[in-house]
Structure formats: structure tokens, C-alpha cells
């Protein structure tokens, strides 16, 4: 419980602090003290609505409702924008204000029930937010692997299909009255620092991958967009430069992220732009932190000018929960709460997760800080999304028949297993120790604190899984198992169980150690201090490896990278597998890979650094590029030693690349405004914004992928671009991923993958002013061990 007294209007309101550090109104009569009567009544109404969710009508504008059937905003044949205008025109200012918060109040006189905007669907429908509840006909939902694991598949069609399944289950639960239609997922922040506790929620460190993931998952959630309709409304979060929760005394509520225009443009904002541009997302969430001294939820340039202006968001902007309260009460950005309410709405915020705007917006209007039209504009954005969802159409539409039978279906659960198969990464396989043979490895010792876990496998922001298969249960399907935890929990504070673990390893034909992390080590509000395995885990691995009479396989569950150099370099550890947090079917997927029923094809979506890397840089420095003793971040800018590089992953088979056709080797680019400000000898580049991009030919790469091994397998074709060194200041890029494709190739066969390289989209870089430019000179394309050079020169 976290209690705060605003000391503003002589009343007190309480917040309950959830395990995810979000807040919801606590309705306690003791908190309704004497003071401003309007505020007291408003708080009471908000509490009444929040506690009466089960009494809310499920569908607005039901044809059977005599209150609404003749009203224009309920007529499905009227254009959405006119329906929205009609509804807003019928509301009083007080009614409008109570719709500015996540637990929006009912308007009974118009037949409109209350609505909870806050639901989560990061990798399956979740009950983290108050908008979705499990029980009764909906005891659970399919829990897919955590995002970092699914990202490791590098399979865009898989990402979209998972979104489609999640939205099927979300719609079914909405029809059953236990969920909403607005889901504040996905998290597309960049995994800038390996210690970040929420890195598990993200698609990793590369902005192109994060952007492709965002667009794919959002398309799956929201549907095909026909007629500007939405299946569910997704939300890309947390905008922007948000990737620190609680490190070394600095927390996200007080952190001022100092970010250059260059890093903002070529790293932090890339996934959000892709989410809006390519994914057509219906919402973007602003973050707790400040960026360059200004709270993101009060930054007009970030919200109104960029998201809605430049990127043309067709949807609403929501705050992270109580961000407005945070920038007033904790960051002290404004003098009065009314100024905070006005600053957020005028900056472009449409919806507040939390009660702040419901409490202080009317005062802001009365003081002349806001106009009622400002409120109308915010409401127009949120209500338009509700209209696009069909929430004012009664129980109509293509998804009305979805129900309990469409949740946790065999097909959905099989997809969760397949996603885990595709995301698990094989990091080491000495002497082809894997796969194990059920015939030769009849007894397997299964050891470690994560060897028989359930909830650990689904990570954070998860719901109630349909069912679990633990690693122990999965391996038991292939062999007799001898099970020992070795130590109690991942903290592994002692070695009391080591002797029993060693004894099991001595008796077994093979040993599987399932180690790693869980939410007690990395989570929201919990960043790591280092990259090593916790406690005595390394000692347990080493001792068991010494004792084992058969091959030793180390399986790691984690969101962030772990420095396991000791195991990588230990010849007694035959194989290392990173499973991430592999979802409800994770144990089955791990076992399938260990015994060869599935061939691993995952690739790391983040760099695995050595422990001494994090001693060189604090989490609070946001700079991406190396400078002086500062080593830089991610594979794009860091050149030092690594444990495992970005994009690394082994297979049970082998693949080779060749260029099936001779690609274009030279490209002349032109600008419609050719002058010294855009192209000159010092920058030796052309601004993308002034280039004739539409006239440049696409440069197709036809990559032939040959499976030269004995197993069928999937392979990821990565295309990296290395820009020329020229006069663009502060570039500092090693290489950057510009495209990737997943391809399945049977043993002994070949497949050709076509990748179109476009100059403006793929060969551009960002200068120190945040401007995208196409450098002239030789651009090197890296495809596996192949290199191809394209000479780009100006057409004068």
C-alpha cells in the first residue's frame, strides 16, 4: 500500500501499489475527508463506478435499450466522426472529465456503461490490469513465450499470428463480460542496457527488429483494418527513451533521460514510428521519465507534434499509470495540479491512467488554463477508438460469436509450443553432443532451481496459463529422470543441495541443469546490478559438471543476458541453451530441442556482454555511441569483447549463403533541392527528406540458402549495412541491421530469399542534428559471411 496526501485541496486519496508499481483508486470512506465538496463527490463517484464493474452493461447502444436506439451516435450507418461529435455534444463538462481516466465513469442517462481502459496483452491476455479477470468460463488464456524469447525467432509472420490468437481470446473474454478491448501492449522500448529488469518485455536491442515486431504484433491484435475498424486496440509503450526502472538509487519516476537528437532519431523513437506508420497502432503510451528535462506526458513536441503531427497517429495517447501525478508530485514540474492537468492535455495526452485528470481538469478549465474544446479534442480521440472497436454498435460485428470455446484451444496451445521451439537459442554444442538420444540416454538427471517451475516460464505481464509443462515434465516424456533442485530458488543462497545434485549426475546418462533468473532478480522496478548467475549457481553448475558421467546441458531461463563465460569455456559443459522465458509449453519445447524432435533456429536479439562491461558505464548514461572510455551500447556501436554476439544461434544442421544473381553494384541518387545545405563536400551526403526516393530503383538481393547438414531446419538471413566513413560527424556505427527473413530449408535442399534494398530506407544514417542522410561512397552489405559493396554517388 502506498498512501499519498496531496496537501492541495485538504483531502486525502489513497493508492494501492500493485506488484507492477501501478496504481488504482482505493475507495475508503476514511479518505473522503472534509474539504472541496466537488472533489469529494467526484472521488466518491469514481469509487462507486470502480466497485460496480459487474453491474455495468456489457454493450452500449443495444437495440433493446430504449434510451439510446434513436440517438445519432448509436446509428451504425452514420460516419464515425459524426457519431463522435454527436456523443460529445450531449455530454456535460463534468461527464466529459470523468471520461478522461482509465476507469471511465458511466453516463446512465445516455445508456453508456462505465469502461476500464487498462488491460494488458503482452504475450497473452493478462490480468495485470483491472480490465481483464479470469475465473468461471474463462479460467485462463494461452500464455505465449515472453517477448524477448519470441523476438529470438526473427519470424514476423509468427509475431503477427500470435497477435491474432491473443486478440481472438481477448474478444471472446470481452463478449463474456470479463475483459475490455483496449490492450496496452506491446512494449517496444530498446534493450539499451543488459541490466534492465524489463528487457524481457521487449524485442531486444535493435531498433529495426523492435519496429518490425511492433508492427507485426499490432497488426495481429488489431485485425486487417478493413473499414478503419479494430478487432482490439493495441498500444505501443513506453514513449520514449524509457529503459531504467530502479538502479543505484535512481528510479523511473525521477529519472531525466538526457538524449541527443541523433540517438532519439536513430534508436529510441524508431520502434514507435514503425508502430504508428507500419502497424497503424491505435494508441501510444507516454512514459514516467523525463527526456531532456521535460516529462514525456507533458511534452508537446513529443506528443502533439511528433506522434500525432509527423507520424499521423490515428488513435489516442495515454499516460503510463499516474504519470501525470508523478510529474506533479515527484518531479515538481508544475506549481499546481491544475497546471499539470492543463500541461498534459495541451501537450496531446488524451487519457490518464489514474484519477489525476478526473480530479483536477475542471479546476484547470475554471482557471482558464484549458478550454472545454481542449477536453473535447482529447475525448474525440478516445471515443473514436471505441467507435472503431464497435463498442457503440450493440453486440454486432464479426467477432460477436467468439466465446469460451475460442480460448485455450488446442491450436492456440500448439502455437505457444511452436513459438517456444522457434525462440529457443542453442549457444554451444561441443562435439555435437545434442541432440540426445532416447535410446542411449535413458536416464537423465534434471537439476536446478528452474528445473520444475511453472510461472517463471511466463515472465511478467502474464495472465493465467491454460496449462503448464515444466522442463522436468518435458524431459520425463523422453527418459527416466532423477530430479534435484540443487539449491532453493534462483537466489541460490547456499550449497546444501549440491551433494544430492552431484549424486544424481553420477547416476545418469546425461545431465540437464536448468538455471538462470526469475522475477525476483529482474522485473519491473527491479534492475540487476550485474550479469553473473545469482548466488551459488555457477558453483552448482561447475560441481555437477565435474560429477556427471554423461554430457552436461546447461539451460538458462532469463530475460536479460547472463555472463556464462565459465560454462562457455568449460569443456565439461557440452551444450548451452537459452530458453528465455518460454511460456506455458516451455518445458515441452526445451525437451523437444534437447532430444531432437525440434531443431533450434533462434538467434539472440541482444548482445551478451561480459560482467566487466557493466562496470564501465552507469545505466543513467543514455548515449549509444562510444566516446573516450565510454564503450558504447549494443552491437551497432560497441566494439569490445562479448560472450555471445547479437544474432548468434546454432543449429543441428549447417547453412551456407550465396548470391543467386549479381546484385546492383552502383547507384546514383538525386535530390530535388541540391545545394550546399543538403549536399556538399563536407557532409558528402544527401538529406533523405530532400531526396527523390520514389525514383531510386530497388536493389534486390537474391540470397540462396543451402542446408548442407542432415536435419531440416529454419534459418534467419540477416542483412547488415556498413556505411562509408565520410564527413558526417559523430556517426560511430559499426553496422546496422536493415533486413531479415526467416526461411525453412529441408536437409540437402536450397531456398532463395529475396530482399529488396532501398537507398532511403536502408542506407540512410542519422547525423548529430537528428537528420537522416544518405552518405555517398561504398556501402558494404553483410549477409552471413558474404559481403557485397554498393557504390552510392550523387547524380548532379
Catalytic residue numbers?
Answer: 320
**Adjacent-strand bridge partners of 514:** 555
E runs forming strands in 405-524? 425-429, 443-447, 480-484, 510-516
Contact 385, 233 (CB under 8 A): yes
Q: How many CB atoms lie within 10 A of CB 555?
A: 27
Contacts by 680-684, CB closer than 8 A, 24 or more apart: 681/727, 682/727, 683/726, 683/727, 683/728, 683/767, 683/773, 684/726, 684/727, 684/728, 684/775, 684/776, 684/777
DSSP string, 552-573: EEEEEE-SS----HHHHT-TT-
Which secondary structure element, helix H or strand E, spans residue 721, and what is its range? strand 713-722
Buried/exposed 279-299: b ≥16 CB within 10 Å, e otherwise = bbbbbbbbbbbbbbebbbbbb
Say which residues have a Cβ less than 8 Å from residue 70's Cβ, sequence separation at least 6. none
Backbone dihedral angles phi then psi of residue 187, each to the nearest 5 degrees? -90, 115
Which secondary structure element, helix H or strand E, spans residue 751, and what is its range? strand 750-757
Rounded to whole angstroms, the Cα distance separating 392 from 394 reads 6
C-alpha cell at 715: 534459418
Straight-line distance from the first to the last Cα atom of the chain, in angstroms, rounded to the nearest whole number? 67
Rounded to whole angstroms, the Cα distance separating 309 from 210 reads 22
Rounded to whole angstroms, the Cα distance separating 341 from 444 reads 61
**Residue keyed to cell 490515428:** 314
Dihedral sign of CA atoms 429, 432, 435, 440 in order: negative
Rounded to whole angstroms, the Cα distance separating 618 from 615 reads 8
Rg (CA), the chain: 27
Kindly list the distances between the CA atom of residue 3 and the CA atoms of 12, 74, 246, 526, in Å, as whole numbers in the listed order.
9, 41, 20, 21
Rounded to whole angstroms, the Cα distance separating 630 from 519 reads 30
Residue 77 sits at the vertex; the CA angle it makes with 74 and 83, to the nearest 5 degrees, is 45
**Adjacent-strand bridge partners of 772:** 766
**Adjacent-strand bridge partners of 715:** 743
Rounded to whole angstroms, the Cα distance separating 435 from 512 reads 12
Contact 353, 333 (CB under 8 A): no
Say which residues have a Cβ less than 8 Å from residue 210's Cβ, sequence separation at least 6. 188, 189, 190, 202, 203, 204, 270, 271, 274
Say which residues have a Cβ less than 8 Å from residue 657's Cβ, sequence separation at least 6. 703, 704, 705, 706, 717, 783, 784, 785, 786
Rounded to whole angstroms, the Cα distance separating 425 from 21 reads 31
Dihedral sign of CA atoms 280, 285, 291, 296 in order: positive
Rounded to whole angstroms, the Cα distance separating 281 from 550 reads 51
Amino acid at each position: 500500500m502506498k498512501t499519498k496526501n496531496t496537501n492541495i485541496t485538504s483531502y486525502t486519496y489513497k493508492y494501492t501499489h500493485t506488484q507492477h508499481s501501478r496504481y488504482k483508486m482505493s475507495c475508503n470512506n476514511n479518505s473522503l475527508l472534509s474539504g472541496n465538496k466537488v472533489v469529494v463527490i467526484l472521488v466518491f463517484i469514481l469509487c462507486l463506478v470502480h466497485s460496480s464493474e459487474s453491474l455495468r452493461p456489457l454493450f452500449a447502444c443495444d437495440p433493446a435499450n430504449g434510451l439510446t436506439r434513436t440517438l445519432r451516435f448509436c446509428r451504425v450507418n452514420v460516419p464515425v466522426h459524426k457519431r463522435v461529435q454527436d456523443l460529445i455534444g450531449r455530454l456535460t463538462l463534468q461527464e466529459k472529465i470523468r471520461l478522461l481516466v482509465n476507469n471511465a465513469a458511466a453516463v446512465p442517462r445516455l445508456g453508456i456503461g462505465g469502461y476500464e481502459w487498462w488491460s494488458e496483452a503482452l504475450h497473452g491476455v493478462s490480468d495485470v490490469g483491472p480490465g481483464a479477470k479470469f475465473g468461471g468460463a474463462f479460467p485462463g488464456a494461452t500464455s505465449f513465450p515472453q517477448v524477448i524469447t519470441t523476438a529470438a525467432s526473427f519470424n514476423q509472420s509468427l509475431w503477427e499470428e500470435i497477435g491474432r490468437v491473443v486478440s481472438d481470446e481477448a474478444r471472446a473474454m470481452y463478449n463474456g463480460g470479463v475483459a475490455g478491448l483496449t490492450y496496452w501492449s506491446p512494449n517496444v522500448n530498446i534493450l539499451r542496457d543488459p541490466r534492465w529488469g524489463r528487457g524481457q518485455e521487449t524485442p531486444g536491442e535493435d531498433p529495426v527488429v523492435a519496429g518490425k515486431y511492433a508492427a507485426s504484433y499490432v497488426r495481429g491484435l488489431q485485425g486487417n483494418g478493413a473499414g478503419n475498424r479494430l478487432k482490439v486496440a493495441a498500444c505501443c509503450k513506453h514513449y520514449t527513451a524509457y529503459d531504467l526502472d530502479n538502479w543505484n538509487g535512481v528510479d523511473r519516476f525521477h529519472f531525466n533521460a538526457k538524449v541527443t537528437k541523433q540517438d532519439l532519431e536513430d534508436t529510441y523513437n524508431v520502434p514507435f514510428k514503425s508502430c504508428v506508420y507500419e502497424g497503424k497502432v491505435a494508441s501510444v503510451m507516454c512514459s514516467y521519465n523525463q527526456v531532456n528535462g521535460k516529462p514525456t506526458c507533458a511534452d508537446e513536441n513529443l506528443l502533439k507534434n511528433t506522434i500525432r503531427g509527423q507520424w499521423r497517429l490515428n488513435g489516442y495517447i495515454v499516460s503510463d499509470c499516474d504519470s501525470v501525478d508523478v510529474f506533479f508530485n515527484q518531479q515538481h514540474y508544475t506549481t499546481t495540479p491544475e497546471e499539470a492537468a492543463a500541461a498534459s492535455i495541451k501537450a496531446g495526452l488524451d487519457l490518464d491512467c489514474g484519477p489525476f485528470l478526473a480530479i483536477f481538469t475542471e479546476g484547470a478549465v475554471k482557471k482558464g488554463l484549458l478550454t472545454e474544446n481542449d477536453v473535447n479534442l482529447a475525448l474525440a480521440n478516445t471515443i473514436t477508438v471505441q467507435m472503431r472497436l464497435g463498442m457503440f454498435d450493440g453486440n454486432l460485428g464479426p467477432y460477436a460469436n467468439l466465446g469460451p470455446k475460442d480460448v485455450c484451444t488446442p491450436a492456440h496451445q500448439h502455437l505457444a509450443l511452436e513459438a517456444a521451439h522457434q525462440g529457443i537459442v542453442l549457444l554451444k554444442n561441443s562435439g555435437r553432443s545434442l541432440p540426445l538420444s532416447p535410446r542411449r540416454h535413458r536416464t537423465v538427471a534434471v537439476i536446478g532451481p528452474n528445473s520444475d517451475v511453472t510461472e517463471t516460464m511466463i515472465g511478467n505481464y502474464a495472465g493465467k496459463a491454460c496449462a503448464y509443462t515444466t522442463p522436468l515434465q518435458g524431459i520425463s516424456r523422453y527418459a527416466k529422470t532423477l530430479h534435484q533442485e540443487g539449491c532453493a530458488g534462483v537466489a541460490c543462497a547456499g550449497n546444501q543441495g549440491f551433494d544430492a545434485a552431484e549424486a544424481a549426475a553420477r547416476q545418469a546418462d546425461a545431465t540437464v541443469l536448468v538455471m538462470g533468473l526469475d522475477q525476483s532478480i529482474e522485473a519491473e522496478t527491479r534492475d540487476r546490478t550485474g550479469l553473473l548467475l545469482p548466488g551459488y549457481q555457477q558453483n552448482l553448475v561447475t560441481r555437477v559438471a565435474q560429477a556427471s558421467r554423461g554430457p552436461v546441458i546447461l539451460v538458462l531461463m532469463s530475460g536479460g543476458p547472463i555472463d556464462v563465460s565459465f560454462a562457455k569455456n568449460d569443456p565439461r559443459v557440452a551444450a548451452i541453451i537459452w530458453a528465455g522465458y518460454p511460456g506455458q509449453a516451455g518445458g515441452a519445447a526445451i525437451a523437444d530441442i534437447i532430444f531432437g524432435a525440434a531443431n533450434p533456429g533462434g538467434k539472440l536479439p541482444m548482445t551478451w556482454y561480459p560482467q566487466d562491461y557493466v562496470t564501465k558505464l552507469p545505466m543513467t548514461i543514455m548515449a549509444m555511441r562510444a566516446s573516450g572510455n565510454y564503450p558504447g551500447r549494443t552491437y551497432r556501436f560497441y566494439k569490445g569483447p562479448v560472450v555471445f554476439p547479437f544474432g548468434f544461434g546454432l543449429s543441428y544442421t549447417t547453412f551456407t549463403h550465396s548470391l543467386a544473381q549479381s546484385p546492383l553494384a552502383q547507384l546514383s541518387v538525386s535530390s530535388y533541392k541540391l545545394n550546399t545545405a543538403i549536399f556538399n563536400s563536407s557532409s558528402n551526403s544527401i538529406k533523405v527528406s530532400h531526396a527523390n526516393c520514389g525514383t531510386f530503383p530497388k536493389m534486390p538481393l537474391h540470397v540462396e540458402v543451402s542446408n548442407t547438414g542432415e536435419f531440416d531446419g529454419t534459418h534467419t538471413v540477416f542483412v547488415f549495412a556498413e556505411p562509408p566513413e565520410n564527413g558526417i560527424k559523430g556517426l560511430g556505427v559499426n553496422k546496422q541491421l536493415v533486413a531479415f527473413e526467416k526461411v525453412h530449408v529441408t536437409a540437402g535442399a536450397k531456398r532463395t530469399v529475396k530482399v529488396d534494398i532501398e537507398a532511403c530506407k536502408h542506407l540512410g544514417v542519422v547525423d548529430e542534428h537528428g537528420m537522416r542522410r544518405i552518405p555517398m561512397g561504398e556501402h558494404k552489405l553483410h549477409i552471413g559471411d558474404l559481403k557485397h559493396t554498393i557504390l552510392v554517388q550523387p547524380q548532379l
